[in-house]
Amino acid sequence: MEEKKMVLLGDKFPKLEVQTTQGKMSLPDAFAGKWFILFSHPADFTPVCTTEFVAFQKRYDKFKELGVELIGLSIDQVFSHIKWIQWIKENLDIEIKFPVIADDRGQVSEQLGFIHPGKGNNTVRAVIFVDPHNTIRAILYYPQELGRNFDEILRMAKALQISDNNGVAMPANWPNNELIKDEVIIGPASNMKDAEERSKKYDCFDWWFCHKKL
């Protein structure tokens, strides 16, 4: 029996040819040079998934401002996606603008590790963050019974970009950290001289814990 694998942090996003609600796409080439978030949901026409699609769409412009593209996925046929998206627009007055992959054979989900043992053939609520170099930078998994926190997904997208652009780390609950508020953490010292000079350049609790404003 072939062992099931899942993508890991630092892996390159695999090349996939997919059918979506906006036509056929080649991933990750369709988002070349951009950040993108691929997220899976268990099934169309289900209550929790409907609230999640609305939540993503409500934040769609904020993701676009960060240059982050969105693409959904579930093991449903494309006509089911289309009808569900139409239902959301007609009944909730929300137009879903991001594409949704129709993975009706489950091959994409299997390759990405989105199938949870013991939960049938439905996908878990997975979220994969991919950077402009096609590297997987963060992965979230939620069980089918728990809807995601979309403000956290937006926070993560912003924080990853700030970390990359400034060579810093982000504290817990950034930008509302209990110790340093919206400041960021300086990377580790590379030598003794650097460690000794830190307190002169930054605010520090100690040489190994220095922080600054962006």
The side-by-side arrangement of strands in the sheet containing 35-40 is: 23-27, 16-20, 100-102, 68-74, 35-40, 125-130, 136-142
Residues acting as catalytic residues: 49
Give the span between the Cα atoms of 54 and 118, in whole angstroms: 28
Strands 35-40 and 68-74: parallel
Per DSSP, helices labelled H in 59-149 are 60-65, 78-92, 107-112
Any residues with CB less than 8 A from the CB of 209 and at least 6 apart, and which? 185
Nearest to 171 by CA among 185, 152, 151, 153: 185
Give the CA angle between residues 100, 105, 109 to the nearest 5°. Answer: 60
For 107, the token pair is 């091959």
The side-by-side arrangement of strands in the sheet containing 209-212 is: 168-169, 184-186, 209-212, 203-206
What does 179-214 look like in DSSP terms, one character per residue? TTBT-EEEPPPSSHHHHHHHHHHSEEEETTEEEE--
